[in-house]
């Protein structure tokens, strides 16, 4: 059983810290065939979750970066 596309893309970006959308598409198409539309939906979901940041590099190329959020403990009971 293969992992979901979102998880595979997230792990790839997490390992590389940054990649272009073309590099991600090449990586996920090594084992299966995915369209650009499916990749765009996956990237949008990850960006909404706050796991990645996407910036335009050129007209048809995007740079996807892993967002490292520092751990902030939540203190309950403080008012």
Domain count, the chain: 1
Contact 64/56 with Cβ under 8 angstroms?
no
Would you say the pTM of this structure is higher than 0.85?
no
Question: pLDDT band at 74, cuts 50/70/90?
Answer: low
Q: Is residue 72 part of a domain?
A: no
What is the domain extent for residue 43? Answer: 5-66
Contact 20/63 with Cβ under 8 angstroms?
yes
Q: Give the 3-state secondary structure of residue 32.
A: coil
On the 0-12 / 13-18 / 19+ scale of CB atoms within 10 A, 24 is: buried
Q: Is residue 71 part of a domain?
A: no
Domain containing residue 39: CATH number: 1.10.10.10
pLDDT in tens, 26-38: 999 998 899 999 9
């Amino acid at each position: 059983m293969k992992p979901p596309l979102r998880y595979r893309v997230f792990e790839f970006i997490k390992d590389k810290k940054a990649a272009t959308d073309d590099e991600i598409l090449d990586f996920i198409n090594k084992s299966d065939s995915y369209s650009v539309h499916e990749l765009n939906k996956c990237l949008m979901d990850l960006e909404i979750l706050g796991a990645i940041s996407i910036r335009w590099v050129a007209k048809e190329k995007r740079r996807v970066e892993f967002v490292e959020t520092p751990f902030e403990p939540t203190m309950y009971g403080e008012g």
